[in-house]
Structure 1
Amino acid sequence: MDATPPPKPAAHADALREAAERFGTPTYVYAEATVHERCRALRDALDGLPTRLLYALKANPTPALLRVIADEGFGFDAVSLGEVALLRALGVDASRILFTTTSTTDAELDAAAEAGVLPNLDDAERVAAFGDRHPGAEVCVRFNPGVGAGHHRHVVTGGAASKFGVALGQAEAVAEAAARRGLRVVGVHQHVGSGVRSAAELWPAVDALLGVVGHFPDLRFVDGGGGMGVAYRPGEAGFEPAALRDHVARPALDRLARAGRGDVDVWFEPGRYLVAEAGVLLTRVHTLKDTGERVFAGTDSGFNHLLRPALYDAYHALVNLSNPGGPPRPYDVAGNVCESGDLFARGREVPEIRRGDLLAVLDAGAYGASMGSTYNLRPPPATVVLRPDGTLDLVRPRRTPEDVARDVLGGAG
């Protein structure tokens, strides 16, 4: 029998305990140094190749982290006008923003054109409609590569069941529609899914996308999308930047060169990879309920703060920061939302939990706060950034129940 992998440790445990003491719980803490490290790992792996990296903003739009990523030289993939507006407010030049669309209105696309960002059009009808209103504009077109991958069926964005992208077989028709309207298709794009931990899973989709390059004479880049995953479970292997270079970027560039398109760059859009492991959700246990069959550890957070376990049955390591050396015991770690699915873990062995203990939910930096809500009218967590010098900065103060109530009353009429 294989040995059980050891539990994942909580990096910066002392700083996390200090953050909870100073700012209370629930609180998101993001380690700025980790974001720097992940940015540099990808950037260094692709150094010397004609590639470009865009951060997928939907993973985590915390301004303090966006500044780090911008300083590391990344561009940005935005999926809404709100994300575009945030980036522009932070001083990000429009030339560094790709606006990826799905079921997007004419008004939104017109606003994106006015803002000067490059639209990434998701269907053939949108290409024609955009060209009618903006003849001569530059666009990117998203294709469905016909294959998908990801950690859960809800995040697989390629293949026949996906709503995303133009079918590869429609590439010639899209090229003709664009040409009739003077549109210049400067990029083609695909995204296979999210939480992919092997470059081998990305290559078939990128390989398929390369098949449409010949239809677009103005092409400047092929965007292989993102989806690079991280190791959430103990013993898992994370995504290797060197594999992205050797098994996706270089083969793609070689194929382009053989086709006489050596002037075309290859882009990628990491999101989760840059921020997931930088984030921790701190929550305190206030209830221990022993039913005789299970022990529920009730916390002051819930799926309104971290939806991934409820939505995807996702695994997040749990660390008892107050009693790390306690004997391991199985717990159902529950939230305070009035829903039976509000659980961070079922039957998870955690060092003995006592009332008042501080728990760290690890690898919560991607699709945690960005997917949060005020369901049950519970306020969102505070947000703290751990700077490389060890300083803890409160970048988003905790809101009160009265604040949330005022938001609702403001629209009551």
Structure 2
Amino acid sequence: MKKEPFVTLEQLKEIDKTYPTPYHLYDEKGIRENAKRVKEAFAWNKGFREYFAVKATPNPFLINILREYGCGCDCSSMTELQMADALGFGGDEIMFSSNATPAEEYQFARQINATINLDDFTHIEFLEKCAGIPEKISCRYNPGGVFKMSNGIMDNPGDSKYGFTHEQIIEGFKILKEKGVKTFGLHAFLASNTVTNEYYPLLAKVLFELAVELKEKTGVAVKFINLSGGVGIDYRPEQEKNDIMVIGEGVRKVYEEVLMPAGMGDVALYTEMGRFMMGPYGCLVTKAIHQKHIYKEYIGCDACAANLMRPAIYGAYHHITVMGKDNSVCDHKYDVTGSLCENSDKFAIDRMLPKVDVGDFLVIHDTGAHGYSMGYNYNGKLRSAELLLKEDGTVQMIRRAETDRDYFATFDFCDILKDIKWRE
């Protein structure tokens, strides 16, 4: 199988006249088509809403595109809450899922009437003291143990820092009910980046059965269930894509098997996908600027791990296309590197590619989620621009590149740096 870039070499050459590499580029057409499919996949559930995980791609231009398809925002910090509020999202459109949460963040979430998704049993008392208990609340469940799927994919919720235990969530619901909560929700995240259509249905079964148990043991009728994220993307060309229509149908089947017989056919379903919503519709565009021939063959790029850190910290695979050489034989083995003073600053190790020449455009695929958002300033590297390839083929800058003035702006003793020669 082959991964095709959503941008052509001719388009990149045109973009290069205005915007230098490196930059993150997003595909408006792909984002819109995918958001429409997600909405259709769960249209059978009247209360369905996708709460886009803002942490994945915190760009207002992209979030506003998703909003056109009914998406809300899943926020995990004060600044994400502030962004959602500033964009005009109302309380019901904002889910606040955080952990080790500072008091001021709970207070602001209450102020804008966001739905709070409590991560810990002890936070019931903490929230009551710092901000008060709202009438609507969600609780995050962690069943512990190991979560397995038939294709061998597994994760270990028991080793995760998130959520209530089984005993805690039953007790927590009783306490919250006594404190005046009228609308309850459930949430869980049990596996990350799953490339299988069975993850959501399996997770749904866990949460649906818990909802029925909670109704029996606490008298609480859960009104919404948040399947969170975890639906992955095919980073590798040989992987088969998730089919959101099949996933939605699988969840519907479990809904009818578990919730309907319990008289809970009005439960709204939520998702909070980031990677699936945006990942394949972004890429990091960089140029080969050096070749190095020592014990291995290296291609040095003008992008580095500060632009995309997943390969450096996770060993994550991101496919690379050498633009203009898509049909050439991949008969050269390279490490594709950046310029950070870290040997882990490699986008690919021993990757078979066509012969790469200095000046070639390299497209690093699937950086639309957890790409730009995980960037940093190590070695004084400046954050790159974000560009949107619009449906009509034009390009819009949706975040400018950082400048050296940005980097130094947070120093309180800028007079010490008064002789810096700023780049124009």
Residues 19-52 of structure 1 deviation map (CA, whole Å, 9 limit, x = unaligned):
2332011111101111101101111122232322
- Residue 157 of structure 1 and its aligned partner are, at CA, apart by 7.6
* Mapped partners of 1:186, 1:410: distance in 2: 50
Across the aligned residues of Structure 1 and Structure 2, the Cα RMSD in angstroms comes to 2.3
Q: Percent identity?
A: 27
1:18 is aligned to 14
CA distance in 2 between counterparts of 1:174 and 1:112 reads: 20
**Partners in 2 of 1:79 and 1:282 — Cα distance?**
28
Cα pair 1:26 1:284 within 8 Å, conserved: yes
Matched, 1:301 2:299: no
**Number of the residue aligned with 1:153:** none
Structure 1: distance between partners of 2:248 and 2:385 = 38
After TM superposition, the structure 1 = structure 2 runs for residues 200-239 of structure 1, keeping only pairs within 5 Å, are 200-213=198-211, 214=215, 215=218, 217-239=220-242
CA positional deviation for 1:253: 4.4
Question: Match for 1:35 among 27, 31, 35?
Answer: 31
1:126 and 2:123 aligned: yes
Question: Does the aligned pair in 2 maintain the 1:148–1:205 contact within 8 Å?
Answer: no
Residue 193 to residue 176, structure 1, CA distance change in 2 (3 Å): same
Cα shift readout 1:87-106 (whole Å, capped 9, x = no counterpart): 11112222200100211122
| Offset at residue 322 of structure 1 (A) | 4.7
User: Structure 1: 5+ residue runs without aligned partners?
Assistant: 151-155
Q: 1:389 to 1:171 in 2, by over 3 A?
A: same
Deviates more, 1:296-305 or 1:105-114: 105-114
Q: TM-score w.r.t. structure 1 length?
A: 0.91
Task: State the AA in 1 paired with 2:120.
Answer: D
Measure, in 2, the Cα distance between the counterparts of 1:182 and 1:59: 34
Which residue identity lines up with residue 365 of structure 1 in the other structure?
Answer: G
**C-alpha distance in 2 between matches for 1:31 and 1:77:** 22
Shift of 1:117: 0.5
Superposed CA deviations along residues 121-175 of structure 1, whole A, max 9, x for unmatched, are: 001111233245524532111111334479xxxxx88611000100123222112
CA distance in 2, matches of 1:396, 1:208: 40
Deviation at 1:220, TM superposition (A): 1.2
Checking the alignment, whether the CA contact within 8 Å between 1:230 and 1:272 is kept in structure 2 is yes
CA contact (8 A) 2:173 2:220 kept: no
1:280-311 CA deviation, whole Å, 9 max, x = no partner? 111111110011x3111011111111011112
In structure 1, the partner of 2:265 is 262
Which amino acid letter does the alignment assign opposite residue 178 of structure 2? R
Identify which range, 140-149 or 232-241, moves more after superposition: 140-149
CA separation in 2, counterparts of 1:168 and 1:312? 31
For residues 319-334 of structure 1, the aligned pairs below 5 Å read 319-328=321-330, 329-334=332-337
Q: Is the 8 A contact 1:383 1:397 kept in 2?
A: yes
Aligned partner of residue 18 in structure 2, secondary structure: helix
Deviation, structure 1 residue 348:
0.7
Amino acid at match of 1:9: E
Please state if 1:380 is matched with 2:380: no
1:86 aligns with 2:88: no
The alignment partner of 2:141 has SS state of strand
> Which residue does 2:69 correspond to in 1?
72
Which stretch of structure 1 is more off in the superposition, 355-364 or 135-144?
A: 135-144
Q: Distance in 1 between matches of 2:156 and 2:45?
A: 26
Whether the 8 Å contact between 2:77 and 2:98 is mirrored in structure 1 is: yes
TM-score, normalised via structure 2 length: 0.89
The residue that corresponds to 1:95 in the other structure is 92
CA distance in 1, matches of 2:128, 2:183: 11
Distance change in 2, residues 1:18/1:193 (3 Å): farther
CA deviations over 1:252-286 (Å, ceiling 9, x no partner): 24411111112212222221111111111111111
Q: What amino acid is aligned across from residue 87 of structure 1 in structure 2?
A: A
Aligned residue identity for 1:49? N
- The corresponding residue for 1:343 is 346
The DSSP-based 3-state class of the residue aligned with 1:226 is coil
Does the Cα contact within 8 Å between 2:97 and 2:118 map onto a contact in 1? Answer: yes
Q: Could you tell me whether the CA contact under 8 Å between 1:190 and 1:206 is conserved in 2?
A: no
How far apart, in 2, do the equivalents of 1:235 and 1:37 lie? 23
SS at match of 1:206: helix
Give the distance between the partners of 1:47 and 1:205, measured in 2 at CA.
19
CA distance in 2, matches of 1:16, 1:311: 28
> 1:62 corresponds to which letter in structure 2?
N
Letter of the 1:165 partner, please give it. G
Q: Secondary structure at the residue paired with 2:386? A: strand
In structure 2, relative to structure 1, the CA distance for the partners of 1:145 and 1:243 (3 Å cut) is farther
1:17–1:321 Cα contact (<8 Å) kept: no
Determine the structure 1 residue equivalent to 2:420. Answer: none
CA distance in structure 1 between the aligned counterparts of 2:219 and 2:237, rounded to whole angstroms: 45
How far residue 226 of structure 1 moved from its aligned partner, in angstroms, is: 1.4
User: Are the structure 2 counterparts of residues 195 and 73 from structure 1 closer, same or farther at C-alpha, using a change threshold of 3 Å?
Assistant: same
2:284·2:364 contact (CA, 8 Å) conserved in 1?
yes
